[in-house]
Structure 1
Amino acid sequence: MRPTQLAAIEPIHTGRHCLLLAPTAGGKTEAAFLPVLSRMLTEGWTGASVLYVCPIKALLNNLEARLTHYAGLVGRRVEVWHGDVSATRKRKVLQDPPDVLLTTPESLEGMLISPRVERDAWFGQLRCVIADELHAFAAGDRGWHLRSVITRIDRYASSPLQRIGLSATVANPVELLDWFAPTGPREVVGSSSVSTDADVTIDHVSTLENAAIVISRLHRGEKRLVFCDSRASAEKLGAGLRELGVCTFVSHASLSVAERRHAEAAFAEERDCVIVATSTLELGIDVGDLDRVIQIDAPGMVSSFLQRMGRSGRRSGTRRSCLFLATGETALLGAGAICRLWSRGWVEKACPPVQPWNVLAQQALLMVLERGEVTLTELLTQLVASFPELDAAGVRTCIDHLLAQADLACPEPGLLQIGPKAQAAHERSHYRDLLVTFTGPDLLVGRHGTAEVGYLDPAVLAGQRDEPLKVLLSGRSWSVREVDWKRRVVWLEPATQGGKARWMGSGRGMSAEVAMAVRELLLCGEAGVAKLSKRAIATLDELRDTTPTHIDPPAVQQHGPANWCMWTYAGSDANQRTQLAWRHAGASSSNGLTVTWRVDPRLLGNLSDLAPVLSIEEIAELAQPFKFAELLPAEQRRSLILSRLALAPAKLEDASA
């Protein structure tokens, strides 16, 4: 057994809340599940005893066979419940609850509000909740949703639920566990130290086409997992590798479940092949033993790099390895910065988003739906229990606003029901949209015959064309035969080549730490323990000669007659704040390293003195990424936006001006 697995036995057996830390492939699943199975047997647990919650359905599907095997050894049963599971199978689960249920927060929420689920009977015998990839949950509002759902389920259980979180390496494990399990005895198991024992190389290949050529010629006869940080890049690279005769599979979130399962299963069985994936394969999905991990450009976070590299080096006698193929200069700098931070043992903290008022508003509606009707006192008590970090007076303000907006109704004094506005917005869809705290584009389904291939962005399909539109999906080119906008289906036919891939949305920004590490790289020319290829060294030397590194005050370069680039090395969030505060004065765009201006910013004075001035329309636009923010009173919505963007207190423009 591995050290984490041995160390986890005693605290889990004694019922303590735990956070189990281990790198990718470090045996976290067994470290949690086997001691829980042991407790199940020795203490005689019956009925649905354990919830095993994952952030993605693919991980649940991947875990099902392994956990079913372990449970079957001791005569226990495992079932899966999520959006892709058939209604027939779900009915059987409700009629005959398994010992262990694999599920997502959204599916648990659906069970809580469903009239078909006898909640007291179904949740009454629960003893334990295991949250896999807890760091991934905590990075967004889904973490708050997960914790609130667990707190609500706790009310039905006969005794407080033991909470066990599984996480990759994070810098703040104690804080993460305190957040996940705010009350009761708890213990962190495993080390948060970062190992630098790995073979890492950074190369500069200039284009994605060149990256495909390099991959096709390197490590032939081996299994290679290639990470891209956008679906479009994954599709283009997959198509390019296939054109070069490489056995290639593609996996990302806009492919159908069947396509992803086929790709992952086929890759697990092949020997000489490549699978090109986005962050969907960063989590613990098993695709068999790998020989190589290759990263196109840079992932943006040290923790992501560590998880991806951890896919390699599992076989005895092999080391972890990663080859960075940078397709641009900024990507080269990002890869070098990530490696500098990793080399000194630095990794990000897992910090839940601040001021989750939007999730509280969602939970208020769902708690009322769950009960049918609830007293105001009960709702306030439950919300404060689920969100102890938020001010109780603010909780009451939010409920009062939901009542005023008719999202909640008060049929008699002190009694609350779901309101007509919320009913009109959500009842027809059985409140499905209310179950999910994250937003995504409204994609169309791409079909070939009866097979579902994947999902396409409407922006790709809009407009008039003289020739048939060709798209890339699953690494293959398709001709668009017909678009059924009413049914939101795109009918596809295979094409030889020429398909284009495009999805709307932006990737992760650059943290302040990574941005500052870019500056260090430019100053010293070294990427820590990572090796630089000759091409990477030559490009980096050029960048060191031409890129300013002075930050107090920030250096400014003019590019053309009306563009000034200010080098801040402050990270994406800070540069977005600067752009927002000074947009009326000419700040036009930003990234992790720079802010671009239409005027020379040196003529404007001290940039730190000005707070952003926000119109009502801009507040609404900034709130769009934060689902359910529209349910909040104006002051809470503004506070949410400013705190999430780490903005100074903003002035609101006079709406009548």
Structure 2
Amino acid sequence: MNSLYASLHPTLQGVLAHRLGWDGLRPVQEETIRAAAEGGDLLVVAGTAGGKTEAALIPVLDAILKGGLAGVCCICISPLKALINDQEERISAICVPAGVTVGKWHGDVPKGERTWGEGDPPHILVTTPESLEVILQDHRLRGDLERLRYVVIDEVHAFAGDQRGVQMRCLCDRLDMIATRPLRRIGLSATIGNPGEVLDWLSGPGRKRRLVAVPPVPGKKRFSFAVSGREGRARAVANLVRGKHALVFVGSRSDAEGLCASMDGLVEHLTVHHSSLSPGVRQAAEESLAGPDPACVICTSTLELGIDIGGLDIVVQAGPPPSVSSFLQRLGRTGRRGGPAIMAFVLDNDLDLMVAVATVEAAMQREVEPLRPPSLPYTVFVQQLLLFLMGRRRVGRQVLLSSLLSLSPFSGFRREDCDAILAALIEDGYLVEDGGFLMLGPAAERGPARSGGRDLLSIFAAGGSWRALTPDGEEAGSLDGRFVAGGTGTVCTLGGRRWRIISLDPAHRIATVVGEGGRRRSSDRRPFWSGSGAPMSRSVAGSVGRILAAGCSPLPLAPPESAAIRGIAEEIGHPFAGDGFVVSERPEGVFVLSCHGGRFNRTLATVLGTELGDGPRIRSGDLWLLISGITGPHPALEVCDAIRRVKGWTPARIAGVLPLLDAEEWKFGTLLPPHLFSGMIRADVDGVDDFVTVLQACGIAGPGENISLPGPQPMSK
């Protein structure tokens, strides 16, 4: 044992050596312990299954044991309830033998267990952001957090890029206020493309911080690629997973249900796992992989994070993954027991093959997508404002605004924008003002603040889902409101089982279902849910561009795969620099090759549509635009000229032509003044400033031209 290990509390040393059987510390654990001794916040980035959880817990336990600390000393925040359930045993294995108690609190924990006795709080509390909001609303439980020292955020990359991450950061700041000291924040992740920026976001201004980045130990990896066509997908997957412990990742909940139905009878012990299934169904799927018998689970990203699901033989990716980060997380599900990591791609066509190969290449170059926290999270501001007023009779306007603006995510908000939000809430009856004091109004009491404010806990809208319950009250899962509009008598698959909808209760949004025996029939409906799949990331699209520019992939592919990729590159028929636009004429219209990802290309299509005027029709994909209906003598050159003109547009002009999302689709979106909702969407969904930066850097090649690098572009007003 080295001196670092010897510096730990003797009880902790004994647990590591005799209970866990460790004969030393892993590199990530050593580096984390050293960094923790220096104080400040930490971001720990290391490969999957690298021991990050223990790396965070060891300095926490050491401090508890050496200081004889009591009360809740550490809160571990996790993005998933399933991940908490999985980590509980792992955390307890190191904590309980040391006399350190552990408690978990989330929505699937029985209500009677979601508390603790007077003076008997756990040392370590594992929870989700939404459940932590519940705890902070309880004055007695909140008082037990005054001796808190640490906040550990697991899978921090699952938070940093969206509004739920803003809520989590607000919670961290509020915990600092309760404990009357800056708490130590420790973030954990395996896949972050910009760890320095994420650490700055996690820590906040004026705080000491340090990045602990331990490169993963190189291990053997085996990839295979099969182009089966959509019709042959089920049989191709079945041939790969039969007789094995396997995970099969798909792009959506509907795809998961559809593939499971198509594989019915081809594979034994087949289950489904996605967010619209009941906790019991998801848990059964997870447990199936822990047993000795072969089992296959078809899943979405719900099994992408660090849940330990045993020794998998193979991971199958049906269709290309949406991002490098997702690919790395999914690859990390296998190869955990000393063997090679094995991932098989089952793809519909040669283009999907190229995208899959490009994703692997980008991962090898460590080109993981950067995470950008929302810059104008006005809806979270409204949520936190209403939560602040819950349980308070009245609060002075200045006290309310000062409290909210002291939270890091809102510190840059303009005071006039905050006043505009307050004015809108007062006008709509969500707030009442009396002599400079504010309180919840009747609209809030009837709406988000009813039932103890349950609707205020989450920043994400339920999306109009209906609970699918049996007559006995057993939960099958949830169905989309548009799907149940098909009415009673509908037979559908959910969780791999056939169900018949026998009644609908619109008042409570409950669809009563009964099990439908027998094999799948052609009349069965595949359920669908609102929300489309994630667009291809710029990292993946850029890697595709490099393959097209080179005409081949450096990966050691089999001859059929190499030939397919070479064929696509030759079909482009033009020298391609990879990071610009190639414009060419085809029978179906003007084709613009644009390897910048789905979000960028959707915005470019809208802007070009405005510039070209009525008449032309523009379709966009992750890698291209297709423009039809141009009647001039040189359509491709006309498109090139239009692209050059829009390169001079200002961000404000671009924002002005983009379609605005429906505020109803955003929780608390309808409570915002329209101009602030629009500003939030333009900044954090459309990414207008980022779009302009990329557009300005792109060269253009028309028919017979090489890509010309852009010079300085004058901005139009």
Q: Same fold, TM exceeding 0.5?
A: yes
Shift of 1:596: 3.9
Q: Is 2:134 the partner of 1:110?
A: yes
Q: Counterpart of 2:34?
A: 10
The 1:445/1:637 distance shift into structure 2, 3 A limit, reads closer
Which residue, out of 295, 301, 323, partners 1:301?
323
CA contact 2:288–2:295 (8 Å) conserved in 1:
no
Q: Is the 8 A contact 2:592 2:625 kept in 1?
A: yes
Please state how far the C-alpha of 1:91 moved relative to its aligned partner.
4.2
Tell me how far 1:558 sits from its aligned partner: 4.5
Per the alignment, residue 557 of structure 2 pairs with 532
- Match of residue 457, structure 1, among 480, 499, 506: 480
2:601 corresponds to 1:575: yes
Cα distance 1:548–1:403, how it changes in 2: closer, same or farther (>3 A)? farther
1:35 aligned partner: 59
Could you say which residue in structure 1 is the equivalent of 2:377? 356
Q: CA deviation at 1:38?
A: 1.6
* Residue pair 2:538, 2:597 contacting (<8 A) in 1 also: yes
RMSD across aligned C-alpha pairs, in angstroms? 2.8
Q: Alpha-carbon deviation of 1:411?
A: 1.7
For residues 302 and 499 of structure 2, the distance between their equivalents in structure 1, rounded to whole angstroms, comes to 23
User: Is 1:334 equivalent to 2:358 in the alignment?
Assistant: no
CA distance in 2, matches of 1:442, 1:62: 29
**Of 131, 140, 143, which aligns to 2:153?**
131
Q: Deviations over 1:171-221 (max 9, x none)?
A: 2212111111114221111236795852223221212x5233233333654
Supply the AA of the counterpart residue of 2:396. Answer: T
The alpha-carbon distance between structure 1 residues 156 and 304, as it changes in their structure 2 partners (threshold 3 A), is same
Partner Cα distance (1:528, 1:138) in 2: 33
Say whether residues 1:365 and 2:386 are aligned partners.
yes
Query: Within 5 Å, which residues of 2 pair with 1:18-167?
Result: 18-92=42-116, 96-113=120-137, 116-118=138-140, 120-167=142-189
SS of the residue corresponding to residue 366 of structure 2 reads coil
Distance (Å, rounded) in 2 between the aligned partners of 1:240 and 1:31: 43
> Structure 1 residues 49, 397: CA separation in 2 closer, same or farther (over 3 Å shift)?
same
AA of the residue aligned to 2:624: T
Q: Would the alpha carbon gap of residues 461 and 194 (structure 1) be closer, same or farther in structure 2, given more than 3 Å must change?
A: farther
**Equivalent in 571, 595, 600 of residue 625 of structure 2:** 595
Q: C-alpha distance in 2, partners of 1:81/1:624? A: 30
Residue by residue over 1:147-189, the C-alpha shift from the partner in whole angstroms, topping out at 9 and shown as x without a partner, is 0011112211143211111111322212111111114221111
Superposition map of 1:185-584 within 5 A? 185-191=208-214, 198-207=221-230, 209-218=231-240, 220-316=242-338, 318-369=339-390, 371-386=392-407, 387=409, 390-393=412-415, 394-413=417-436, 415-448=437-470, 450=472, 451-463=474-486, 468-487=489-508, 488-495=510-517, 496-498=519-521, 499=524, 500-529=526-555, 531-547=556-572, 553-558=581-586, 560=588, 565-583=591-609
Pairwise CA distance, 1:258: 0.2
Q: Are the structure 2 counterparts of residues 140 and 192 from structure 1 closer, same or farther at C-alpha, using a change threshold of 3 Å?
A: farther
Query: 1:84 & 1:624 partners in 2: Cα distance?
Result: 28
Greater length-normalized contact order (CA 8 Å, ≥ 6 residues apart): 1
Pick closer, same or farther for the CA change 1:631–1:458 going to 2, 3 Å: closer
Contact 1:13-1:39 at 8 Å conserved across structures: no
Indicate the SS of the match to 1:532.
coil
Query: Secondary structure of 1:200's partner?
Result: strand
When residues 273 and 431 of structure 1 are mapped into structure 2, their CA distance, relative to the original with a 3 A threshold, is same
Q: Distance between the aligned counterparts of 1:587 and 1:360, measured in 2?
A: 39
Distance 1:632 1:330, change over 3 A: farther
- What is the TM-score normalised by the length of structure 1? 0.89
**Whole-angstrom distance in 2 between the partners of 1:155 and 1:119:** 15
User: 1:384 and 1:193, CA in 2 relative to 1: closer, same or farther beyond 3 A?
Assistant: farther
CA distance 1:236–1:441, change in 2 (3 Å)? same
Q: Post-superposition shift, 1:370? A: 5.5
Aligned residues: 638
Distance 1:431 1:360 in 2: 16
Distance 1:83 1:254, change over 3 A: same
User: Which segment drifts farther, 636-645 or 137-146?
Assistant: 636-645
Letter in 2 for 1:286: D
User: Structure 1 stretches of 5 or more lacking a match?
Assistant: 651-657
| Closer, same or farther: CA 493–559 of 1 in aligned 2, 3 Å | farther
Q: Distance in 2 between matches of 1:86 and 1:245?
A: 35
In structure 2, how many angstroms separate the alpha carbons of the residues matched to 1:371 and 1:196?
Answer: 56
* Distance (whole Å) between structure 1 residues aligned to residue 115 and residue 485 of structure 2: 41
CA 199–625 in structure 1, closer or farther in 2 if over 3 Å, else same: farther
Which one is further off, 472-481 or 581-590? 581-590
Deviation at residue 322 of structure 1 after TM alignment: 1.5
Q: Which moved more, 1:440-449 or 1:305-314?
A: 440-449
Q: Normalising by structure 2, what TM-score?
A: 0.82
Contact 1:479 1:492 in 2 (8 A): yes
| AA matched with 2:228 | V
SS of 2:500 mapped into structure 1: strand
Q: Please identify the structure whose Cα radius of gyration is greater.
A: 2
Does the 8 A contact of 2:47 with 2:216 survive in 1? no
